[in-house]
Amino acid sequence: MPTVPASQAAALALACVLAAPAFAQTADAPRGDPEAGRQKNAACIGCHGIADYKSSFPEVYRVPRIGGQSAGYIASALHAYKKGERRHPTMRGVAQSLSDQDILDLAALYSEQK
């Protein structure tokens, strides 16, 4: 098994420590409502609710399963799509239609799934 140079390992460890707060939920942070997320899920479930689903736009790719991911991660990803930091055109279009509360609700819904 190849070894990782100490400088790369240290950089990776630092990146993980710095990124952790972005995905953490604090007691005073706004929270999503999974039940409200179920009401807003129509645009998501068509792709993310099908096991091993593959999409063909803009190219053929496997749609990731997001159920069970942390709410913070899902919310961060949706905000990144909304801002254009993540570039998948379908996800960007969906995310741009979501309010901040919609994002929290959908993140809460998918984070409770297994």
Mean predicted lDDT score pLDDT of the chain? 82
pLDDT of residue 15: 42
On whether the CB atoms of residues 111 and 70 are closer than 8 A, the answer is: yes
Q: Is the pTM of this model over 0.75?
A: no
User: Quick one: CATH architecture of 32-111?
Assistant: Orthogonal Bundle (1.10)
Distance CA 46, CA 53 (A): 9
Q: How sure is the predictor about 78, in pLDDT bands with cuts at 50, 70 and 90?
A: very high
pLDDT of residue 30: 81
| Digit-coded pLDDT (tens) for 2-58 | 454 545 544 444 444 344 444 445 556 789 999 999 999 999 999 998 888 998 877
Q: Residue type at 80? A: A
Consecutive H or E run containing 37 = helix 34-39
